[in-house]
Structure 1
Amino acid sequence: MADTIAAIATPLGEGGVGVVRVSGPDSLSIMKIIYRECPDEVIPRHVYYGHAVDNEGIVIDDMVSIYMKAPHTFTGDDVVEFQAHGSNVSLRLILRSAITAGARIADPGEFTKNAFLNGRLDLSQAEAVIDLIKAKSEKPLSIASDQLNGSLGQEIASIRNNIKDVLAQMAVNIDFPDEDIEQVSYDEFLAELMKQQGRLGNLIKSAEFGKLAREGIKLALVGRTNVGKSSLMNGLLGEDRAIVTNIPGTTRDTIEESATIGGYPIVIVDTAGIRDTDDLIEQIGIEKSKNEINIADLVIMVIDGNRDLEDEDFEIAHHIEGKKVLLVVNKEDLGINIPKREIEKIKSILSCNSMLYTTVKTIEGIGKVRDAIEDIFAEGFFKSEGGNIVTNERHKDALVRASESLVQGIELLDMHEPLEIVEIEVHDAFQILGEIIGETASEEILDTVFSKFCLGK
């Protein structure tokens, strides 16, 4: 018989309400022991108010108790939740009472693991739970919510089913070559496998953006000193985080802060102005700036539209050449005095089509920059045929491996190699895709997945 597990399901710290969750076959009997006013007959999904007591009958706290009967629960087992005041002491004592009454402490992620093992979730849905908990802004939350509802698992299952049909027909061709059974031609096999390969390619392509959506988009603000980088950062953050003066070299080190733009988590790095200097501390800051530029997903180069460009501007442009760049011509309110040919020269160095004129000290000016950032990343936004965005590195790795096996099978078919050889590669793709939804996941994969969960979930 399965164990009955228990854990505190709410974060540590003081709060209005805290929850101790119990799941397993002994959940109801534990409720009757801990909950002093528990009736003889407990109606599932009814809320009961009373007092939690320890094994000596001493009252711990006021609480409400809810019993949910299997299989219609998150874990698929009987579940009881004790909702008390959000005191760490109170919750620990209630948990201790549950352990004394027959439960054991749950392992990290064990509630969700049981939901997977009991068929309540596929593995991609289980992983979406942790993504939902860790979401930093609206878009990652929305993506995780879709995956928790089964959208990714359904698309993977659909591709696997189509591959399984191909494998079944290959088996017929291999085992009954001379029988009066309809055979499928190599061209038909090719057409179907190429279709499924295209679907895998779309999922892999979505992962390029999915990682940014999940982990955050890193923006590096660059430009020579005193062009408005710090003002731009403060405007994007909505607070005065960077010091703004008209003294060159005020920002002597990189400053990193988080924000949200268009629903996506953004990490903004205000770099030290890149210039020749004898100041040792400023030199260190400039080197750090160059490192931040190298790892940025988007570089925003700010130039002063009120003054002629200098050699330093072009040196900076050459340094960020090849990066995704938004060129911001600042101080529009003072008048744009840069010759158009110089701006075109900068754009040519950057291979940059994204440029705007603005004043970053105004709300309207900051709004223009935010809109431009959104537009740039909207261009890279890609969904699969099933409307999914792959955000999980494990999923991407499995998709790439499955795709490689399917490509091998397609190439073998194209060379008219025997189906017995082709079938090996196609079957590998089928098996690898099963790792994503848990159909063929090893115990090692499951342990790795659920070890990332917090206690109580």
Structure 2
Amino acid sequence: MFCPTKRLFLENGTKTSQIFDHLSHVKPLKSLPVTYHLPTIYAVSTGINIKSATALIRISGSQSKYIFSRLTRKKSSELIPRKAILQNLYSTFDKYRKNLLDNSIVIFFPHPNSFTGEDVLELHLHGGKTIIKSVLNSIDNLKNYDTDKVKNNNIQIKYAEPGEFSRRSFLNGKKNLIELESIKDLIDSETEKERQNIIQNLDSQTRNKNISNFKDWRNVLIDNYSELTAVIDFNEDMEINDINNILRKILTNFEELAKNIKNFNERVLRSNFLLDGIKILLIGSTNVGKSSLINKLVKDDVAIVSNIPGTTRDLIEKIIEFNGWKLILTDSAGINKNLRSGKVLDEIEKIGIKKSISKLMGTDISLLVVDGSQPNICIDTEVLKIIKDNNIPFIVVVNKFDLIDTNKLHIIKNQIISIFNTVGITKTFPIILISCKTDYNIEELYTELTRQLKTIVNIDSKDPIRMSYRVQNILREDIIKNLDDAINQLRLILSNNSSDEEGDAVIICEVISEVINGINKITGESVGIEEVLDTVFSKFCIGK
């Protein structure tokens, strides 16, 4: 175990506390938002190229009051915060003539109590295209406007870039990444389950709980970082055993933290089904009714149905909403190699079968469709092996019940079970008998499909966690990977296998600072030197 000499500087001459410099941010004056120096932005928040009853132009920044004055020809002091007032809007191209553009409802939100944290002005217009365009042109004209007193007074106004209002909200600490990206996901949501889950994440109680998780992780990291920093800097009077005990405690804390973060991330990944949709593949031999079934599920004729084997030669994909779920249904080419071993398949059929097998590898649920009217049930064993090896959930769907002798139902089920047993699938699995022609038992298939959907997404949990892909990437790359690296470095030091124990400890500090940075990217918070030093001096008696 290392026992470095006491020093307040690292080998490169940098104070240990300066490791945090790249985490620190200059805090703005409390009276002004961080983005005060940036150009005032404006944009149409409703559709710009569609005809509608109303339209909304949103303006954010230090020139919001000025824009109000120039458009209305009134003093900005007449604005009453958060109160809707009816105002005439005039062209700004001629300040001596009142060229009326529209009669608008105007609402002013002064900083910091606005979405962006800046002064925000909302103009609620009539929704005509020419009205919207004329108001936008008048706002744009103001950036080049010279006052009577000052020439080129640098009035910075520009049309907002995509997401710029949300970016300013984040920079000014009004919203964190989770909230902002949840709002975007809510706008983009396509199914009821997706909408419900996002709304739940936007709920203040759920949102605060998620943010609390990140803050708790951050606090654990800072506390242990501070102890590790103190071991490096103030160790002259410390015994080796004391250092070992501190490092063991830090390792235990980091291992527990990593476990919690990975559990959190696993729940996030399971909730991804709500965003991406659940992939369901219909697979089976030719002419068993796969296309008929997908048409039944979609409630539309998206797949060609005929009695000619091999009609579907390529993958047919359709996205539907099923009981609130987003499903991606795929009808595949018939796989009938066993029955057609004596027939030479053409190239198109070969490609279709190859695509079906490849698609199966990435599916979430497989519907194995078989023809119950045939004397011998045909299920390709290669398909079953892929299902078994990849642990793919499946439902066996026995179609054409209307042609089946009900006295032979037990024989059909036994044949199916026997085929599955040959590849080692011995557990109980669902076998649903249906008729696409008469709709027999379709509801039972829907019920079983819903049950499996709930199992996959774990929708019955109290609080499914929905995070954007960006947040997921930060979790995976910045937080989990770096934390695992720190844990491995600590284990190396404690096992006495480190060739440079002190250097490794410094590296651990740098790695942990990256983990903290990752959390900051999500919450929008920063770690200042005062926060770290307060923790150090409260836990260690430096003068002892």
TM-score of the pair, normalised by structure 2: 0.71
2:158 matched residue in structure 1:
104
Larger radius of gyration: 2
1:394 matched residue in structure 2:
473
Deviations 1:343-383 (A, max 9, x none): 12343438475423132537683443333334334334469
8 Å CA contact retained: 1:232, 1:366? no
1:136 matched residue in structure 2:
190
The answer to which of 389-398 and 228-237 deviates more is 389-398
- Please tell me the residue identity of whatever aligns with 2:86: Y
1:157 matched residue in structure 2:
215
> Structure 2 residue aligned with 1:415, among 495, 500, 503?
495
> Matched residue of 2:53: which SS?
strand
Cα distance, 1:215 vs structure 2: 1.8
Shift of the 329–20 alpha-carbon distance from structure 1 to 2, 3 Å rule, reads same
Q: List aligned pairs for 1:357-372, cutoff 5 A.
A: 357-359=432-434, 361=436, 365-372=441-448
2:395 matched residue in structure 1:
327
Cα distance, 1:284 vs structure 2: 4.3
Please state if 1:80 is matched with 2:116: no
2 CA distance for matches of 1:140 and 1:414?
A: 47
> Matched residue of 1:64: which SS?
strand
Shift of the 225–37 alpha-carbon distance from structure 1 to 2, 3 Å rule, reads farther
- Please tell me the residue identity of whatever aligns with 2:357: K
Cα distance, 1:4 vs structure 2: 0.5
2 CA distance for matches of 1:234 and 1:360?
A: 13
2:312 matched residue in structure 1:
251
> Structure 2 residue aligned with 1:232, among 293, 315, 320?
293
- Please tell me the residue identity of whatever aligns with 1:130: K
> Structure 2 residue aligned with 1:67, among 102, 108, 111?
108
2 CA distance for matches of 1:381 and 1:427?
A: 37
1:298 matched residue in structure 2:
365
1:344 matched residue in structure 2:
417
Identity of paired residues, percent?
Answer: 26
Q: List aligned pairs for 1:144-293, cutoff 5 A.
A: 144-145=198-199, 149=207, 151-177=209-235, 185-261=246-322, 263-275=324-336, 276=340, 278=345, 281-293=348-360
1:452 matched residue in structure 2:
none
- Please tell me the residue identity of whatever aligns with 2:216: S
Please state if 1:52 is matched with 2:129: no
8 Å CA contact retained: 2:361, 2:386? no
Cα distance, 1:165 vs structure 2: 0.7
2:33 matched residue in structure 1:
none
- Please tell me the residue identity of whatever aligns with 1:172: A
- Please tell me the residue identity of whatever aligns with 1:155: N
- Please tell me the residue identity of whatever aligns with 1:295: G
Cα distance, 1:96 vs structure 2: 1.7
> Matched residue of 1:357: which SS?
strand
- Please tell me the residue identity of whatever aligns with 2:39: D
Cα distance, 1:106 vs structure 2: 1.1
2:23 matched residue in structure 1:
none
- Please tell me the residue identity of whatever aligns with 1:407: I
Q: List aligned pairs for 1:401-440, cutoff 5 A.
A: 401-412=481-492, 414-415=494-495, 418=501, 421-422=504-505, 424-425=507-508, 427-438=510-521
Shift of the 439–305 alpha-carbon distance from structure 1 to 2, 3 Å rule, reads closer
The answer to which of 96-105 and 350-359 deviates more is 350-359
8 Å CA contact retained: 1:299, 1:326? yes
Cα distance, 1:70 vs structure 2: 0.7
- Please tell me the residue identity of whatever aligns with 2:110: K
- Please tell me the residue identity of whatever aligns with 2:51: E
8 Å CA contact retained: 2:366, 2:394? yes
8 Å CA contact retained: 1:328, 1:356? yes
Cα distance, 1:151 vs structure 2: 4.6
Cα distance, 1:115 vs structure 2: 0.7
The answer to which of 54-63 and 33-42 deviates more is 33-42
8 Å CA contact retained: 1:190, 1:413? no
> Matched residue of 1:101: which SS?
helix
> Structure 2 residue aligned with 1:8, among 30, 35, 44?
44
- Please tell me the residue identity of whatever aligns with 2:213: E
Cα distance, 1:200 vs structure 2: 1.8
> Matched residue of 1:199: which SS?
helix
- CA-atom RMSD in angstroms: 3.5
Q: Which sections of structure 2, spanning at least 5 residues, go unmatched?
A: 1-36, 144-156, 525-544
8 Å CA contact retained: 1:231, 1:360? no
The answer to which of 252-261 and 408-417 deviates more is 408-417
Cα distance, 1:420 vs structure 2: 6.1
8 Å CA contact retained: 2:285, 2:378? no
Deviations 1:246-274 (A, max 9, x none): 44333333211111245432211111222
- Please tell me the residue identity of whatever aligns with 1:370: Y
2 CA distance for matches of 1:307 and 1:37?
A: 84
> Matched residue of 1:100: which SS?
helix
2 CA distance for matches of 1:382 and 1:425?
A: 36
Number of aligned positions between the proteins: 441
1 CA distance for matches of 2:506 and 2:258?
A: 15
The answer to which of 66-75 and 330-339 deviates more is 330-339
1:121 matched residue in structure 2:
175
Cα distance, 1:95 vs structure 2: 1.7
- Please tell me the residue identity of whatever aligns with 1:294: M
- Please tell me the residue identity of whatever aligns with 2:229: A
Cα distance, 1:214 vs structure 2: 1.9
Cα distance, 1:79 vs structure 2: 0.6
The answer to which of 296-305 and 418-427 deviates more is 418-427
Shift of the 221–429 alpha-carbon distance from structure 1 to 2, 3 Å rule, reads farther
Cα distance, 1:117 vs structure 2: 0.9
2 CA distance for matches of 1:439 and 1:287?
A: 42
Cα distance, 1:280 vs structure 2: 5.3
